[in-house]
Chains A and B, each alone.
Chain A
Amino acid sequence: MPPRLPILPAVRCCRAALETQSASSPLVSLFAALSVQTRSASILANLAENKGAHHKRIRVGRGPSSGYGKTSGRGHKGQKQHGKVAARWQGGQTPLIISHGRKGFVNLRAPEMSIVNLDRLQAWIDAGRIDPTKKITPRELIKSGIIGGSIKDGIKLLARGDSTLRTPVDIIVSRASGSAIEAVERLGGKIVTRYFTKESMRRLLVGKSVITDQPLPVGPEHVESVLEKARNGPFYYRLPDPTSREDIEYYRDPAHRGYLSPSLKPGESPSLYFKVPGETKKAFTSKAKQQEQEEEDRLF
């Protein structure tokens, strides 16, 4: 409906019409005159919730007519009337927590992973929310909403519904379970695990970093090339590499498809502490040489 505007010609026109019609229907002109006087009442006074949308609170112990007056709906006598038993009360038996104590601990420093399961990944691909023809990186996973709104310390791929996966994907995540790796590679897909932090994933999301599955180059021979690249192109934050022993070992392991595993020499163990069994050679030195070495190593 267009706005009702008091346009002078229209009013004049109507008045003329009403004057001619007044003899035949005086009521209409009467009501027309009345309607000019109608007050515009606001709708605000007539707003209400739908019936049944709001439950009225039961007020217990407020007189007999309420139906919950005398005993407040709790019956007569006993524990049920008077109180309740603490949820931890075990009927007088020595609590198990006292007789056996607490076990284990919660590792508050452990990185918290966002979980992506294979059936969910396939559902996202089917719905067109993830493009399987392109590389699937944390940026794509976060933007598609598959891990929800919050970014955690990493993304772990798990194998729930691995039989439902039917699209080969090229995916890069923080961690992956053994069966998830198997399911992805069975279909001819590619999976790489890479170290991410919360901050680095945020930077990937806003385009301040570029995804790569190569570790940072280490050594003086790389300085020039890296500087050259930084001077020429736009600035991008580099993705960090792991520094803790556990993380380094995880990404050095080919079984995890870690991005550091190509740097392993043939037969080298991913562990930083333990060598591959059978590899170690016993180096026998003479007693005299051993003593000489000890003399050298001695500080004071």
Chain B
Amino acid sequence: MAGNGVRGLNEALRTLGLSSQTCKSQVPSLCKRSMATVASTPNITRSVAEPWQPLSTVPVTVFSFPSLEPRRVESWSTKHLHLPLRRDILHLAVVYEGDSHRQGTANSKTRYEVHGSHRKLMRQKGNGKARRGSRQSPLLRGGGKTFGPKPRDFSTSLNKKVYDLAWRTALSYRYRRGELVVAEDGLELPLPDEFLALVESGRLRGVGMEESTALEDGFVRRYMREVMQGLQWGADHGRTTFITGDRRPNLFTSLDVAGEEGRALEMEDVDVKDLLETGRIVVERGALKEMIKRHQSDLVSNIFVDGKRQKGPAIAQPLVMP
């Protein structure tokens, strides 16, 4: 209960925070809100005459990456990016992934696998000591392990349709909170030309430190921090996950160096937990499309009826083009 209260307060704070970023015309109306929880009177009733039409699409703005200029607006299906939050489904998926990521290679030797002779150590009687059958006994130092770990597979199973639903639920959760930034294809970090020229000429590696990348890394770290702080995407704002179709050298190496600001992942390496981890997700449009395409088994059918099959909602429809 207390947790809910805190969460509610956080939500309220965030709403107010939003108001601080909106434009002047909207501010006065928001300022009228009192601190007490006043039951507002929204339009919760609806005439019977007008049929209820739930949302079928939601808008997605595609931005250019470093400048964040909106380039176009697309409409995406609510079944892809506006699913209700299902914490239980996300939990199933995250646990499933965690199980399958367990290495399970712990291995120990039993008394029959420990090297050595199985000769009886001493006579059965007359030693004034405990009887000893073999040197590998688990009771002795250097002996085998009684019930030790053996390599095994920890992976569990999850129905594919549930897993795919979890994947889209995670993306929808990000979208609803405004934490899903869709960038144009070819997402890459532009590094300053002067820096690249210096790296090229090898002048950032002084005499005696040809092997060291300390200077280059130091610059990249500071540069990355500035970029990310400027965007309010950095360590102070919960880090950022960048998802691209394939490896982008500048972005990936920079974020390897400046890991405290965020992380970069290729689309193939992403799973549900990655989508939920950092403050926001910045994803290439093509990569997002491919992710949705690969995780819609509950929306598409492989049953052909009259030669056609249900292919699910269209993944992206242009709304506003440049």
- A complexed with B: yes
B277-A44 in contact (CB<8A): yes
B90-A50 in contact (CB<8A): no
Q: Tell me if A1 is interfacial: C-beta within 8 Å of chain B.
A: yes
- Docked Cα-Cα span, A41 to B87, in Å, equals 15
- Residue of B28, B31, B90, B279 with most partner-chain A CB within 10 A: B31
Q: Tell me if B72 is interfacial: C-beta within 8 Å of chain A.
A: no
A-side contacts of B180, CB under 8 Å: 3
> What is the number of contacts between chain A and chain B, taking CB atoms within 8 Å?
122
A3-B232 in contact (CB<8A): no
A43-B176 in contact (CB<8A): no
B88-A42 in contact (CB<8A): no
Taking chain B's interface residues, is the majority helix, strand, or loop, or is none over half, making it mixed? helix
B277-A35 in contact (CB<8A): no
A21-B276 in contact (CB<8A): no
- Docked Cα-Cα span, A16 to B91, in Å, equals 44
A16 shortest CB reach to chain B, Å: 7
B210-244 to A contact mask, C-beta < 8 Å, 1/0: 00000000000000000000011000011000000
The 10 closest A-B pairs by CB, nearest first: A35-B17, A40-B238, A32-B20, A47-B91, A40-B279, A17-B27, A128-B306, A128-B305, A17-B24, A1-B178
Q: Could you say which of B8-16, B129-137, B156-164, B249-257 contacts chain A?
A: B8-16
A-side contacts of B22, CB under 8 Å: 10, 14
Tally B residues with Cβ within 8 Å of A: 52
Q: Tell me if B179 is interfacial: C-beta within 8 Å of chain A.
A: yes
Interface size class of A (residues with CB under 8 A): 35 or more
- Docked Cα-Cα span, A5 to B67, in Å, equals 11
A5-B177 in contact (CB<8A): no
Question: Which chain A residue lies CB-closest to B179?
Answer: A3
A-side contacts of B181, CB under 8 Å: 3, 5
**What are 27 A-B contacts defined by CB distance under 8 Å?**
A2-B59, A4-B18, A5-B68, A5-B181, A6-B231, A6-B232, A10-B21, A10-B23, A14-B19, A21-B27, A21-B28, A24-B31, A25-B31, A28-B16, A31-B12, A31-B13, A32-B16, A35-B17, A40-B238, A41-B10, A42-B238, A44-B273, A47-B87, A47-B88, A47-B94, A49-B88, A128-B305
